[in-house]
Amino acid sequence: MNILECKALTKRYGGKSALEGVELSIEPGRIVGLLGPNGSGKTTLIKLANGLLTPDSGEIDVCGYKPGKESKALVSYLPGGSTNDFAASLSISSDPALAAQSAMRLQPRDLDVGVFNEKNFVYVASFGAFTRTAYTVPQDIKNVFGHFAYMLDGVKNLDTLCPYRMKITADGEEFDGEYLFGAISNSTSIAGLMKLSPRTATVLRNGTETVVPVEQVRRGDVFVVRPGESIPVDGEVLEGGSAVNEAALTGESAPVDKAPGDSVSAATVNQSGFLQCRATRVGEDTTLSQIIRMVSDAAATKAPIAKIADKVSGVFVPAVIAIAAVTMAVWLLLGKDVGYALARGISVLVISCPCALGLATPVAIMVGSGLGAKNGLLFKTAAALEETGRVQIVALDKTGTITTGEPRVTNILPAENVSEAQLLQAALNLEQRSEHPLARAILRHAEALGMTAADVSDFTILPGNGLTAKAGEDVLCGGSMAFISGRVQAPEALLRQAEALAEEGKTPLLFSANERLLGVIAVADVIKPESPQAIRELRGMGLRVVMLTGDNERTARAIGAQAGVDQVIAGVLPDGKESVVRRLQAHGKVAMVGDGINDAPVLAAADVGVAMGGLGSDAAMEAADVVIMTDELSRLPLAIRAPLREPPIAEDLLYDRYSPVQVLLDGFTV
């Protein structure tokens, strides 16, 4: 029996044929791909096979059944694609395997159905000029000209525009009026950022899973998230492990692994495993809600250029009206009738229409803020969006911005007749009781290798020098070169290696046992992998890049050389960074990038303050003008470059997503 059998299959849309006399037979075990340009009928064939469409003529069988309930148990349709808003609104994963898993659970969902001219629809119904143009423009023309093809067709048919009388009933409310065009959607995905927030959550109540509206989730509630589902609120993982797609918040497509103790955010998508989480932030406190609020606040503010446009419009509009009035008066004085004069006056108004002047700037700001949010960049005000594009100098904090902010073991140099394992074991035994960041770096490294610490006694901290302890009969010491060199005889070659590591900005730690040198372990706050490339991009844009740090000169210069900055300013205390930025502002507009509480004052003082939002402090994000939602410095060039680019208004806003009339309602009848 064939999986799929088509005989003289034909499907038309109006006067156009999507499929004409298709003969097709697919045997079990074959892998078949449908290839063809847009409009060739690929999707139509798939929908016919699943009973989503009815053929105009011919036959189609699926495993011996006519497309219907019986056939869908064997072969089904997985909606997907980057532009399938309806699938996205139902939280159907774009990963076919995850979408199939969701379908196999056979969990039905309630869905509102709209009625348009006595025909039912579940996603969108549209009417008017846009709809007509979308169906009348030939596919080969669209393939060549893209969205410009719609514009050409619209201009050609301007003289045929006419209003449509529409009456819309929804939830007891009635809308009645005349419209040139419009779209009615049964999906929240058109609403931009707000589409990301799931509408329901599965919480554990008395040990039973209960689906509740997301508004009813309270802090401390335990909720579960299965593969393919969106996380409803911010929380902490209690059980399970998974890869979570956080692109909605950070713009980063690579999934992030989550384990017990890790945090998860609302609107991110669980991709692989089962998660049980405790709600930590709900409602308006979630990360998503804060992002939406920031974007809304930015859209509500006026950039300096927008204020200029408003002032010009305030003069231009009255002037144009006055000219139109003078034009009418002149023609009347010349003896023309009122209709003739009125037509000339209206022509002046149409030709000089100031609408673009007043609308272009705020629309560009809105689009820029929205695109930034989708890429993990939050411009808190419209002024920040404009000012970022004028930056001439970028000042970078070192720790947590250029570097990871977390010291790591970089080199292990054992002494003669000592193995790396022996050196690392002695260091682990000695450092296990220390709370110093350098000690924690050694502990993390050893634990990653599966090593365990032995019990020690007589543990002593020597401030500014190092540590001592006893492990059985062995007396262990560890610390700086000066401290250990004064207690044991250290080979000159090993000391030179330690000095070389120090020149590279690393901290060499020496360890000994029973007054015998075991070796050197170097620890450093390593540079983020993406930092050098990000700095190269900034310099390639003609910007001067300066690194500010409180570290010593030698370490700072070593890090600066690795990162590729133009200038290093070391030994700067937190309260001194502000004065440094003030001096830099004498040479141009300065963007300061930081992440810590100590960076908040200088972020506020800079022309543009940029906070690293991934691990950044709340104080830094509050003081900043721009927030990078990840800890990746690679987003910074995009934040500075984006305001300089012309926003794709025609493509992204006017023709893809919005029309002058949109009604977004839950349940409605047209």
For range 361-379, the mean pLDDT: 69
Residues annotated catalytic, as ranges: 397
Q: Could you give the residue ranges of the DSSP H alpha helices within 40-172?
A: 42-49, 69-72, 85-89, 96-104, 129-136, 139-145, 148-156
Where in 74-121 does DSSP place strands (E)?
A: 114-116, 119-121
Q: Is the pLDDT of residue 253 over 50?
A: no
> What length does the chain have?
670
What confidence score (pLDDT) does residue 660 get?
29
Q: Is the pLDDT of residue 300 over 80?
A: no
Residues 6+ apart with CB under 8 A from 478: 426, 427, 430, 431, 466, 467, 468, 484, 509, 510, 511, 512
What confidence score (pLDDT) does residue 255 get?
64
Helix-, strand-, coil-residue percentages of the chain, each rounded to 5: 40, 25, 35
Question: Is residue 192 very low, low, confident or very high in pLDDT (cuts 50, 70, 90)?
Answer: very low
Residues 394 and 538 sit within 8 Å (Cβ to Cβ): yes
What confidence score (pLDDT) does residue 464 get?
62
What confidence score (pLDDT) does residue 358 get?
54
Q: Is the pLDDT of residue 294 over 60?
A: no
**pLDDT tens-place string over residues 525-538:** 888 888 899 899 89
Which stretch of DSSP H or E encloses residue 374?
A: helix 355-374
For range 300-311, the mean pLDDT: 54
For range 35-40, the mean pLDDT: 78
**pLDDT tens-place string over residues 61-88:** 988 888 887 787 777 777 655 456 666 6
For range 370-395, the mean pLDDT: 78
Q: Is the pLDDT of residue 162 over 50?
A: yes
Which stretch of DSSP H or E encloses residue 222?
A: strand 222-225
Q: Is the pLDDT of residue 41 over 90?
A: no
Which stretch of DSSP H or E encloses residue 356?
A: helix 355-374
Report percent pLDDT > 90 for the chain.
Answer: 10
For range 345-366, the mean pLDDT: 66
d(CA 626, CA 380): 6
| Among 491, 479, 495, CA closest to 516 | 491
Q: Is the pLDDT of residue 484 over 70?
A: yes
Q: Is the pLDDT of residue 203 over 90?
A: yes
Instruction: Phi first, then psi: give them for residue 67, nearest 5 degrees.
Output: -50, 125
d(CA 291, CA 307): 25
Residues 1 and 61 sit within 8 Å (Cβ to Cβ): no
The overall average pLDDT reported for the chain is 77
Selected residue with higher pLDDT from 18 and 193? 18
**pLDDT tens-place string over residues 560-609:** 888 899 998 887 765 678 788 888 988 888 988 887 655 767 777 888 88
What number of other Cβ atoms are within 10 A of residue 178's Cβ? 9
Q: Is the pLDDT of residue 648 over 60?
A: no
For range 28-39, the mean pLDDT: 80
Q: State both tokens at 624.
A: 């900043």
Q: Is the pLDDT of residue 646 over 50?
A: no
Residues 6+ apart with CB under 8 A from 427: 442, 446, 478, 509, 511, 521
> Quick one: 337 exposed, middle or buried, by C-beta within 10 A (0-12, 13-18, 19+)?
exposed
Residues 525 and 405 sit within 8 Å (Cβ to Cβ): yes
Lowest mean pLDDT among 44-53, 122-131, 190-199: 190-199
What number of other Cβ atoms are within 10 A of residue 223's Cβ? 23
Rg (alpha carbons) of the chain, rounded to whole number? 33
Residue with tokens 């999507």: 18
Residues 155 and 650 sit within 8 Å (Cβ to Cβ): no
N- to C-terminal Cα distance for the chain? 45
d(CA 268, CA 93): 12
Q: In what order do the strands lie in the sheet with 242-245?
A: 256-258, 242-245, 269-270
Q: Is the pLDDT of residue 309 over 60?
A: no
**How far from the centroid of its chain's Cα atoms is residue 383's Cα?**
22
Question: Is residue 221 very low, low, confident or very high in pLDDT (cuts 50, 70, 90)?
Answer: very high
What confidence score (pLDDT) does residue 376 get?
73
For range 490-509, the mean pLDDT: 85
Q: Is the pLDDT of residue 670 over 50?
A: no
Residues 6+ apart with CB under 8 A from 385: 298, 303, 365, 368, 369, 372, 379, 643
